[in-house]
């Protein structure tokens, strides 16, 4: 979080600055398996999306037994 109060006058909260929250720059990126995911641009430039592996949930096949 950025903002709060100016550090030029430490003893008081004189001359307060704005309370602005920095939002991450999220972009859609394709993963190696073809799916898409939102990641930040710093991670995108570093190539982190190439390392991400998302395993799809496997549905266990159960046999239906009739009583």
Q: What is the 3-state secondary structure (H, E, C) of 19-47?
A: CECCCCCEEEEECCCCCEEEEEHHHHHHC
With H, G, I as helix, E, B as strand and everything else as coil, classify residue 48: helix
Tell me, yes or no, whether 65 lies in a domain: no
Other CB atoms within 10 Å distance of the CB of residue 39: 19
Tell me, yes or no, whether 45 lies in a domain: yes
- Pairing of β 26-30 and β 36-40: antiparallel
Tell me, yes or no, whether 36 lies in a domain: yes
> Residue 61: is its pLDDT beyond 60?
yes
> Residue 11: is its pLDDT beyond 70?
no
Structural domain tally of the chain?
1
Tell me, yes or no, whether 44 lies in a domain: yes
> Residue 5: is its pLDDT beyond 60?
no
pTM: 0.49
Q: Cα-atom radius of gyration of the chain, to the nearest Å? A: 24
Tell me, yes or no, whether 9 lies in a domain: no
Q: What is the per-residue pLDDT across 30-46, written as a single tens digit (0 to 9) for each? A: 988 888 989 999 988 99
């Amino acid at each position: 979080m950025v903002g709060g109060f100016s550090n030029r006058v430490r003893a008081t909260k004189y001359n307060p600055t704005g309370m602005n929250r920095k939002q991450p720059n999220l972009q859609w990126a394709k993963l190696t398996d073809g799916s898409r995911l939102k990641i930040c641009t710093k991670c995108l430039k570093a190539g982190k999306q190439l390392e991400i592996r998302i395993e799809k949930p496997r549905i266990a096949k159960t046999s239906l037994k009739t009583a």
